[in-house]
Structure 1
């Protein structure tokens, strides 16, 4: 029994078959891919390179830029033009506007401003209102020599914008202009309907109303030039220290004086 057990212990395992011990060879799968393309000869590549012309690409770029420019012009001009021929182009499309942004505002004395009245064709036409200078060269027919508004060129004529006396009031001095909106005094007539205290109070109210009308009348034209797409901001008038107290006060021009009327007797209200 013992010999049998020893025999069993000493028995060597049978060697595995060669087929079982060897790793399985991968199955050969036929490639379904297309056969590799033959390389293009260098001679052919050189011939194609010599035949290529960059002008076709350049023409494509130019064509694209042309149509892009037309579309952009149409959008910016709100359908006015495809070719940038706008009657009133925005400021950022004006060379003078960009020059101003780069150099900053000009500061001109009244004497320097007078040189830009349109008599020198080599210079632009400037006018000023309330101390601010604008370039009105785009409307030289109106503001230049012989134009209906030539009185405004080369000067700050703020006073005349309110009084309407273009030739006489070519000055920015607004002192006394409110008188054109105040009633005339009539001590021996209608003024007797008020007591001294009542008349003083009435005159104070009349003056306040007149000053408001002067302010609003000038503000209208200040905003006109400020908001204009046609006239460009240039700078400011540099006036001497102490002005306008350094000059005598002007009298109200005849045309403005003629608009004044006597006070009206207040209507009596029934109880």
Structure 2
């Protein structure tokens, strides 16, 4: 039986990286070309951080400009994910104010992302791990 967070179709993930990624670079990885192009034939990189870990969500159009979850692109969206919010003001790394239930939701999102997207690094100086 597949686990709760297993994707419907198998995903071949690379080993997680712990390369440091600055918040400035992360902010440029918002799916909008040409800030951080993957190559001349594609859109820009699209990263979302959760609890200081940076996930490459570039292949999911929901995080690209115009997508339902673009508000998370280029940010550590920990608090918003725990709150199940897509409000820009909730997209911040500090998840310490979350309730226990919201922290559990955040952990579920982390597991969900971990099963689908490569971890490409860690936010430099992240204190929200």
TM range (shorter): 0.7 to 0.9
Residue equivalent to 1:131: 52
For 1:159 and 1:136, locate their aligned partners in 2 and report how far apart those are by CA, in whole Å: 18
For 1:175 and 1:89, locate their aligned partners in 2 and report how far apart those are by CA, in whole Å: 33
For 2:98 and 2:12, locate their aligned partners in 1 and report how far apart those are by CA, in whole Å: 35
How far the C-alpha of 1:134 sits from its partner, in A, is 0.7
1:235 aligns with 2:121: yes
| TM-score scaled by length of structure 2 | 0.74
User: Are the aligned partners of 1:110 and 1:239 in contact in 2 as well (CA < 8 Å)?
Assistant: no
Aligned with 1:145: secondary structure? coil
Residues 243-254 of structure 1: pairs in structure 2 closer than 5 A: none
- Name the one with the larger strand percent: 2
Instruction: Kindly report the root-mean-square deviation, in angstroms, between the aligned alpha carbons of the 2 structures.
Output: 2.5
How far the C-alpha of 1:164 sits from its partner, in A, is 3.1
Q: Structure 1 residues 214, 165: CA separation in 2 closer, same or farther (over 3 Å shift)? A: closer
Residue equivalent to 2:114: 226
| TM-score scaled by length of structure 1 | 0.37
For 1:238 and 1:157, locate their aligned partners in 2 and report how far apart those are by CA, in whole Å: 15
Residues 119-268 of structure 1: pairs in structure 2 closer than 5 A: 119-121=32-34, 122=37, 123-139=44-60, 141-166=61-86, 167-178=88-99, 212-228=100-116, 231-239=117-125
Aligned with 1:233: secondary structure? strand
Q: Structure 1 residues 145, 177: CA separation in 2 closer, same or farther (over 3 Å shift)? A: same
In structure 1, runs of 5+ residues without a counterpart are 1-87, 179-211, 245-271
For 1:137 and 1:217, locate their aligned partners in 2 and report how far apart those are by CA, in whole Å: 23
Residue equivalent to 1:112: 25
Bigger Rg over Cα: 1
For 1:152 and 1:177, locate their aligned partners in 2 and report how far apart those are by CA, in whole Å: 18
User: Are the aligned partners of 2:63 and 2:71 in contact in 1 as well (CA < 8 Å)?
Assistant: yes
User: Are the aligned partners of 2:29 and 2:47 in contact in 1 as well (CA < 8 Å)?
Assistant: yes
User: Are the aligned partners of 2:32 and 2:64 in contact in 1 as well (CA < 8 Å)?
Assistant: yes
For 1:156 and 1:217, locate their aligned partners in 2 and report how far apart those are by CA, in whole Å: 15
Which ranges of 4 or more aligned residues in structure 1 deviate by more than 6 Å? none
Which string of whole-angstrom CA distances, capped at 9 and with x for unpartnered residues, describes residues 119-153 of structure 1? 125132111111111111111x2101111000111
Count of residue pairs brought into register by the alignment: 112
Which string of whole-angstrom CA distances, capped at 9 and with x for unpartnered residues, describes residues 99-121 of structure 1? x78xx532112111001001125
